[in-house]
Structure 1
Amino acid sequence: MMLCVIVPLWALLSITQQAPSQDTCVCEFENSETIFPHDKLSTAEDDASTCNSDVTPQQTLELEILLLGLKRRLPQLEADVSILEKEDDGDLYGVLSLRVAENELLEITQLFNRLNSTSLRYQRLTEGTTKQLEDLRAEMEEMAMFDTLQVVKRQQDNQRLRRDLDQCEHGLQPSIHPTRPPVRADCPHGHFMNVSGPRVYTAGEYPGSYMYGAWGRDPKPEVGKENWHWVVMLTSGNKFSNFVRRYTSLSSLIIGKSVPGNVQIHAANPTTNTIQGPNAVLYGEALYYNCYNQDAVCRFNLTAKTVTNLKLPKGTRYNSKSNFCHIDECYHFTDLDLLTDESGVWVVYTTPQNFGNLVLSKIEDGKALELGRTWRTSVYKQGVTNTFMVCGVLYATRYVDKTTEEIFYSFDTMTGVERFDIGVFINKMAPNIYSLNYSPADQMLHAYANANMVSYKVLFS
């Protein structure tokens, strides 16, 4: 009986040992990802190192030395030739002077030959380096596809963010600190030093609708209207307008709630004495602007609804013949620029007599408009994008790029001193600033830029 039980257990054990083990697992692994091209990365690193060694600051310095040599030698040669032409000493010293001039001319010729050969060598180097950089860029873009987790992309985004934050943090400082001008006795604020980052940035009541216009605060408001703001929008072809729109506060302007509404100059637009161009200003409850189709300033009294005209000197350019410009664009109908500061209203324009350079005149504002003292500057109007006045000093801006405008020039009406080294930069919120004006009511620069209203705080020392 016991034997019968043992035999089946043995048989069962034999069968179990012959069966395949359930603990053994065989898997086939196939990598579907493309193998990273380490050889290409190594080649790219070698090419980048070669570019760094081929293009050095010393090469630029070599060109500068050659150009400086020419700059110094040419005036000396001109002076020696001038002496030679004036000498009359029986050919004794004339021969010696001629020999000196010949030696100098030979040295200048050698400098020119070196400059030409150096320039050609650098030109070939530039062409070769450009081709290398293009190839490197293509290879790096191809290898960027292996960054499936986007680690490199996020590092680049972080670098850009850090750069933008750094620019924002240090944006209040000019790249080059300007030399301080003498303190003006009639300026209560001190030295004009800089411009802050944007304090106000709004599309207003009609976002994106009117590209050209102007806005700001009245420097000489009526009682009870100290916080009022005004806007002029060029509603006809971005060229003309027939009204000024008013807001009881900055908040009302931002949210687009105009309780006073429009103050209309004329029912038609455009017509006689309506607004032409974006460079209008409000001062003492009166709007000053370029009269439609005239070389004249109009003053529209917002209370009496009357218009007074001031004819500008004969030959004044108007009807978009002498605009503010930069290399890519001119701002149409900006022949006249009306400005305000602590002392009143000014006008900037051009005449053939001043060869297209800026002319500045004070507007004497009495019962009748009169043109007061006039100053002629040496800055060309079409090399300027905007002007504004602060404490009797005219400032001019120029276009740097889509994000930056530079205040580069000033003219002091008290001393007559011109400066081209101001070096204060404005961070733009839109590519083009079509009007720019300073209001002493709040020491703000009010800019109208591509249908947006932006303001900047003027910083004094």
Structure 2
Amino acid sequence: MRALFVVLKPLCFLALLGYCPSATIRPKEGWQVYSSAQDADGRCICTVVAPEQNLCSRDAKSRQLRQLLEKIQNMSQSIEVLNLRTQRDFQYVMKMESQMKGLRSKFRQIESNRRTLLTKNFQELKGKMNELQPLIPVLEQYKTDATLISQFKEEIRNLSLVLTAIQEEIGAYDYEELQQRVLSLEGRLRNCMNKLTCGKLMKITGPITVKTSGTRFGAWMTDPQASPKNNKVWYMDSYTNNKIVREYKSVSDFVAGVESRTYNLPFHWAGTNHVVYNGSLYYNKYQSNIIVRYSFESGRVMTQRALESAGFHNVYPYTWGGFSDIDLMADELGLWAIYATNQNAGNIVISQLDPLTIQVLNSWNTEYSKRNAGESFMICGTLYITNSHLTGAKVYYSYSTKTSTYEYMDIPIHNQYFHMSMLDYNARDRALYGWNNGHQVLFNVTLFHIIKTDDES
């Protein structure tokens, strides 16, 4: 799933949105600025630099040109087949012509001397006719194929005229050159998207129900660090008394229930707030504040470390309980742990972790009670907290680790199935994964971005 600003259609989509006067990019000479996405208030979310010539119409012509070229190629193949068939049929026609000449000669003999007409002649004539009978349908097919070839030739002539007109309209750009211009623009789009790695949460839409399975509580996830071709899904049912992780090769396999592998963890997990990051599963060991790093590749625990002072075993859970004291998550900036301590009066502590050693790199103390939080997730180094796990929940509070500041928010989140026991952001998919009362769901997020040029960064 991709957020709104990810679903960008090169070229024509840009022109539809038009020029965004609030953009901060200073375009190079000979180029225009187009807005590729805006938020509900009309503010620019993404800015893309595009050629000043209207390549949208050219792109449409290029698409038409490509379709015509494909059509001509298909026609050429059809003509080739017809030619082979007509060559074969022509041999039959030649044979038929020879036999017709023989019949004509026989008829002349009969006409010249009717008195000598005997039974033998009739039998011979009948045999000749029988030989000719199967060739009549072949002759008919030959005539049909000849007509088709004629029609094809006429259509190719018409297409050639259209192609010539398109080439004249495109001007100096041939199709290959135009395609390179398109690829260049797509490269600029990708560069723009690279600038969109971080932003402020503006809206949550959905959910999309992917599957209904398992108990009321659980977790499912993909690896935000995986390659685009790796779409494995991991599934962990229940919040305790379980050590089985189910792996699926893709979301479609997950929906179909086609498992590719299962893992039997060495320790039971606590809660539902696990995360897969760069090929490893990070989870809270049951009845402890120990974080376990389990490698799927090696099938063994690589690291385990206690999160100092972190409450566990329903001391500081989310509002729904379920041993959800320690919430592990990942975003664009790395791996995080969300928990509460006595030293911070039961309020949420944010710690960034080293993915290999699970050592705390840095920590931030918030003033939001962990027990009053429904769920939370990190986007671009900012923690977003919902005020409930039930119907009517909304993102109520956020804390930025970049500025060490907080703000109150009011972003609704549709709790379709009335009980949310897991909510995690996936930076690769730019979506929220949720476990909503035995339903595995996805939420789309809209982020607001301020883009700087390379000169300004």
Matched residue, 2:385? 396
Aligned to 2:342: 352
Provide, for residues 86-132 of structure 1, a one-character-per-residue CA deviation record: whole Å limited to 9, x for no partner: xxxxxxxxxxxxxxxxxxxxxxxxxxxxxxxxxxxxxxxxxxxxxxx
2:374: which partner in 1? Answer: 385
What is the DSSP-based 3-state SS (H/G/I as helix, E as strand, rest coil) of the residue aligned with 2:215? coil
Looking at structure 1, the residues matched to 279 and 296 of structure 2 have their Cα atoms a distance apart, in angstroms, of 6
- Quote the offset at 1:305 in angstroms: 1.8
Q: How does 1:290-439 map to 2 (within 5 A)?
A: 290-307=284-301, 308-314=303-309, 316-325=310-319, 330-366=320-356, 368-399=357-388, 401-402=390-391, 404-420=392-408, 422-439=409-426
After TM superposition, the score normalised by the length of structure 1 is: 0.53
Separation in 1, partners of 2:291, 2:227: 22
Q: Does 1:215 align with 2:220?
A: yes
CA distance in 2, matches of 1:334, 1:457: 24
| 2:317–2:325 CA contact under 8 A, matched in 1 | yes
Matched letter for residue 447 of structure 1: G
Counterpart CA distance in 1 for 2:416 and 2:196 is 29
Q: How far, CA to CA, are the matches of 1:417 and 1:215 in structure 2?
A: 31
Please state whether the residue corresponding to 2:236 is helix, strand or coil: strand
Q: 1:446 aligns with which of 430, 433, 441?
A: 433
Separation of aligned partners in 2, 1:414 and 1:361: 13
- Are residues 395 and 187 of structure 1, via their aligned partners in 2, closer, same or farther at CA, if it must alter by over 3 Å? farther
Tell me if the contact between 2:389 and 2:420 (Cα under 8 Å) persists in the aligned partners.
no
Check the 8 A contact 1:222/1:285 in 2, yes or no: no
Aligned length: 260
Match of 2:249 in 1: 248
TM-score (structure 2 length as normaliser) = 0.54
Structure 1 residues 187 and 292: CA distance shift in structure 2, 3 A: farther
Stretches of structure 2 lacking an aligned partner (at least 5 in a row): 1-38, 46-193, 449-457
**1:457 to 2:444 alignment:** yes
Aligned AA (2:341): T
1:429 deviates by 2.0
Measure, in 2, the Cα distance between the counterparts of 1:285 and 1:352. Answer: 33
What is the deviation of 1:201?
Answer: 3.7
Report if the CA contact (8 A) 2:209-2:439 is conserved: no
Q: Shift of the alpha carbon at 1:274? A: 2.6
Asked whether the equivalents of residues 340 and 439 of structure 1 are also in contact (C-alpha less than 8 Å), the reply is: yes
- Which of 230, 235, 238 is the equivalent residue of 2:234? 230
Q: 1:436 to 1:400 in 2, by over 3 A?
A: closer
Letter in 2 for 1:264: N
Determine the C-alpha separation between the residues in 2 that align with 1:424 and 1:338.
23
Q: Deviations over 1:181-225 (max 9, x none)?
A: xxxx9862433211111133420xxx3x42211112100125742
2:206 equivalent to 1:197: yes
Counting only pairs closer than 5 Å after superposition, residues 169-184 of structure 1 correspond to structure 2 as none
Which runs of structure 2 are paired with 1:83-98 in the superposition (5 Å)? none
Counterpart secondary structure, 2:235: strand
- Structure 1 residue runs of 4 or more that deviate by more than 6 Å after TM superposition: none
Where do 5+ consecutive residues of structure 1 fail to align? 1-172, 267-272
If asked which structure has higher relative contact order (CA below 8 Å, sep 6+), I would say 2
**In 2, distance between residues paired with 1:187 and 1:342?**
11
What SS is found at the alignment partner of 1:231? strand
What is the distance in 2 between the residues matched to 1:374 and 1:189?
20
Which secondary structure does the structure 1 equivalent of 2:388 belong to?
strand
